[in-house]
Amino acid sequence: MAQKVIITCAVTGADDSVGKNPAVPVTPEQIATSSIDAAKAGAAAVHIHVRDPETGQPSMEPALYRETVERIRASGVDVLINLTTGAGARWMPSPDDASQPGPGTTLVSPERRVEHVIELRPDICSLDMGSINFGHHVFVNSPQSLTEMARAIKEACIKPELEVFEAGHIRFTRHLLDAGEIAEPTLFQIVLGVPWGAPATAEAMIYMRDLLPPGAQWAAFGISAMEFPMAAQAVILGGHVRVGLEDNLYMARGVLAPSNAALVERAVDIVRAVGAEVATPDEARRILSLPER
């Protein structure tokens, strides 16, 4: 049988991308509509952040998550919902006192970071498995915070998508697995090309894949121009795929992506071009050991 590949669409993200591409969705209605269109194009799952409808900046407002999820569920379109828990982890030191938070810092408690997940009970939620210098800020995920978040996610019976940006994140995840804080079977998302994490290369993907625990399901993605090359590489190496306007704004050099659906359609073509098949949402549930709808 041909390999079944789960395509996830990361529909908006938290970067300063609004204004760089008019297709980036901002309001709950826009994010939900873009998610639904991505599902119709072939995405089995959608990865969701929310934004302030007035400013376009990232938000943690539970009401925005609630409206977005309710709109997707009310549409009748079958798609796995994957909510982020990455918001609330940004640190920028004050220019006057490096021990104090400066402009751009968003740090909140572990409980606050999973609040919307516990309320809305998505199929999946992301869990970023370590700290990293992320562009110009520090993405802070301490061992204590991650342990608390993993425990809350497990108690809510939600599948964590374990996002790993470098090899040490996988080592810490395996520590939490050994401690019983994360349920098996596991789902990993290998993140490549983010400054300053693992590079978007085949060698980095193979290295990180080979560090995963036995039996783990995994996906991988590269950002920007490496989105499609890393999608093809992930399928070839036996993994799943992520695309979307969170990670990449273009179809080709200088050609803006007109929608998330267009990026998903390209991913579908890539999956099929290397001899695999695109997984339906129900097939994705079986692959990930999730309850069937």
3-state SS class at 128: strand
Q: What is the pLDDT of residues 48-84, one digit of tens each?
A: 999 999 999 999 999 999 999 999 999 999 999 999 9
Q: What is the pLDDT of residues 194-236, one digit of tens each?
A: 999 999 999 999 999 999 999 999 999 999 999 999 999 999 9
CATH of the domain at 129: 3.20.20.70
Mean pLDDT, the chain, integer: 97
Q: What is the pLDDT of residues 133-157, one digit of tens each?
A: 998 899 999 999 999 999 999 999 9
Query: What's the pLDDT at 291?
Result: 84
Any domain includes 14: yes
Contact between 245 and 21 (Cβ < 8 Å): yes
Please tell me the distance from the alpha carbon of residue 164 to that of residue 242, in angstroms, as a whole number: 14
- Total domains in the fold of the chain: 1
1 pLDDT exceeds 80?
A: no
Please compute the mean of the pLDDT values over residues 257-275 and round it to a whole number: 98
Contact between 231 and 267 (Cβ < 8 Å): yes
Whether cis (ω within 30° of 0) applies to the bond prior to 185 is: yes
Any domain includes 130: yes
25 pLDDT exceeds 90?
A: yes
Which residue's structure tokens are 């789960």? Answer: 6
Please tell me the distance from the alpha carbon of residue 253 to that of residue 207, in angstroms, as a whole number: 28
Any domain includes 16: yes
Any domain includes 293: no
Any domain includes 230: yes
Rg (CA), the chain: 18
User: What is the domain range of residue 250?
Assistant: 4-287
Angle at 163 between CA 165 and CA 206, to 5 degrees: 60
As given in the structure block, the two tokens for residue 182 are 């994360």
Percentage of the chain beyond pLDDT 90 is 98
Any domain includes 292: no
Query: What's the pLDDT at 219?
Result: 98
